[in-house]
Structure 1
């Protein structure tokens, strides 16, 4: 009975990987569901890379891991811009590297599920949480493999990839400790960072949708709902994963910063609405106050939400880095005085509405530039 219980996390992980083709098959003829899953994959895979891969890679590989992460994320785009006729080959090379990385990641997942790899006595809850995190994150990983590869290569190659990932998970479960000792920690961390960047490039670029124009059009609010579902799942995983302390710290710092800055942002949106009202002729239709309301709660919010959140996220991450050296910016934010929470709640609702209207990919393109996004489409 005890051996069967030890096998349950492994079996659940394999089932999660195999669910990818089923989920994709259900979504493909349904544009709304397809948009939901597209939004879910975008946020969940990006978040899981940041949650699992990046902290470990930087911990073992040091600052050089950032160079490998950037190379994996930006390198294929540089190749594509320099060799336009070879864009498909560049995508294929990126996909191959990402698949290889996923296979190695499957080995690591299997090793983490090994009972012998369990944490010492008194940390059973941490090991259980890690097992749950591995099982849950395998769902979007399996979905991503089919999502990216099936429209371009048909069913055979993605099916073989998922089968190899399942085999890698089992091999990691059986021989993970021996395999881990063969590779040096620093070299493996650098490779892991390179692969993480490649996975982000594949997911953000969506080469699998380049030739399917009917799937490019956004389906609000379904893409935004997928983004939100993935975000909630990542928050739950961050609370369960015993290795997610860094991400939890960044999240806490970001919440403090949002609470501190929300009143000023709401005032700015109100001023934008007032300026719109003053510039609108009295006999205009819709009325000046209707336009002012639309500008304050929709126009100005949509134009700024993604950039502001990206800036706040960077500041929160900077706070975590500086706090490790004895300097904590969030202490200043807390010291700004007692700030009511309701402006932050109102701001969160406004940004939620913007996410549902626009979707995560339009948010992303507004941060990195529309040209960067369109480069993957044309």
Structure 2
């Protein structure tokens, strides 16, 4: 149970960091760079290769559809960015719900006697940028109440995966959800890219560069050091 508790605390720590760093313009840019690098990097380097391995070229096409479709919808609705962005965020949150269920399942595996502690460490560490990303996506558009509700939903999904993990893994394996996950991965990338451009982070100020470097360091640990044992 201790791993479950710490992973939940890690997820909830994201908004605390966001609020603290958001009070300063320079720190805000560093935070944006950190989130952009870690989340987009995890999707491209950690999630996408598994999707392509199982789903092949169709999975790649599905990711591109998830990435491009919201942009096409914005043009179709004549620049109604608010509606299409909210739809993309809802899709992203749905995908993160599935991911949090598998996080709960992974915590069960980490508690087994022959399991490496690095599996639990991997789950706990990546929950911090995940919590940051959820707050970063939802709070500016929908307010703190909805962002808090989204985090509570993720916590509920983690607990669901923890307490009902064995049965859920049968139905939520990568083979049976590969194209759904591919579409959601594209949607997440659309939201991250849109939020990044919208925040005018492309100026590459020094705080953003520092945040990006920190993001690269954590991403390296997750993908090359810790993330290789954190397969769902």
Counterpart of 1:180 in structure 2 is 169
1:156 aligns with 2:145: yes
Counterpart of 2:22 in structure 1 is 28
Counterpart of 2:32 in structure 1 is 38
Unmatched 5+ residue regions in structure 1?
1-6, 246-378
Counterpart of 2:158 in structure 1 is 169
Aligned-partner Cα distance in 2 for 1:117–1:177? 14
The offset of 1:131, in angstroms, is 1.9
Aligned-partner Cα distance in 2 for 1:55–1:143? 24
> Residue by residue, what CA displacement relative to the aligned partner does 1:328-363 show, whole Å, maximum 9, x if unpaired?
xxxxxxxxxxxxxxxxxxxxxxxxxxxxxxxxxxxx
CA spacing shift, 1:89–1:187, aligned 2, 3 Å: farther
The offset of 1:191, in angstroms, is 0.9
Unmatched 5+ residue regions in structure 2?
none
Counterpart of 1:67 in structure 2 is 61
Partner-residue secondary structure (3-state), 2:69: helix
Aligned-partner Cα distance in 1 for 2:169–2:127? 20
CA spacing shift, 1:79–1:188, aligned 2, 3 Å: same
Counterpart of 2:200 in structure 1 is 216
State the superposition RMSD in angstroms: 2.3
Counterpart of 1:230 in structure 2 is 215
1:242 aligns with 2:228: yes
Tell me if structure 1 keeps the 8 A contact 2:89–2:191: yes
Aligned-partner Cα distance in 1 for 2:160–2:36? 28
Tell me if structure 2 keeps the 8 A contact 1:129–1:242: no
Partner-residue secondary structure (3-state), 1:84: coil
> Residue by residue, what CA displacement relative to the aligned partner does 1:1-59 show, whole Å, maximum 9, x if unpaired?
xxxxxx23222210111012211111222011101100000000011112432122223
- 5 Å-filtered alignment, 1:121-136, equals 121=114, 124-125=115-116, 128-136=117-125
Aligned-partner Cα distance in 2 for 1:65–1:117? 32
The offset of 1:68, in angstroms, is 1.2
Tell me if structure 1 keeps the 8 A contact 2:119–2:226: yes
CA spacing shift, 1:240–1:77, aligned 2, 3 Å: same
Counterpart of 2:183 in structure 1 is 194
CA spacing shift, 1:183–1:234, aligned 2, 3 Å: closer
Counterpart of 2:102 in structure 1 is 108
> Residue by residue, what CA displacement relative to the aligned partner does 1:147-173 show, whole Å, maximum 9, x if unpaired?
111111111111000001011111101
> Residue by residue, what CA displacement relative to the aligned partner does 1:278-307 show, whole Å, maximum 9, x if unpaired?
xxxxxxxxxxxxxxxxxxxxxxxxxxxxxx
Aligned-partner Cα distance in 2 for 1:84–1:187? 36
> Residue by residue, what CA displacement relative to the aligned partner does 1:117-176 show, whole Å, maximum 9, x if unpaired?
85x84xx33xx2222121111111101111111111111111000001011111101112
- 5 Å-filtered alignment, 1:275-354, equals none
Structure 1 ranges of 4+ moved more than 6 A? none
Higher helix share: 2
Aligned-partner Cα distance in 2 for 1:161–1:30? 25
Q: How many pairs were matched up?
A: 229
Aligned-partner Cα distance in 2 for 1:26–1:44? 19
1:93 aligns with 2:79: no
The offset of 1:224, in angstroms, is 0.4
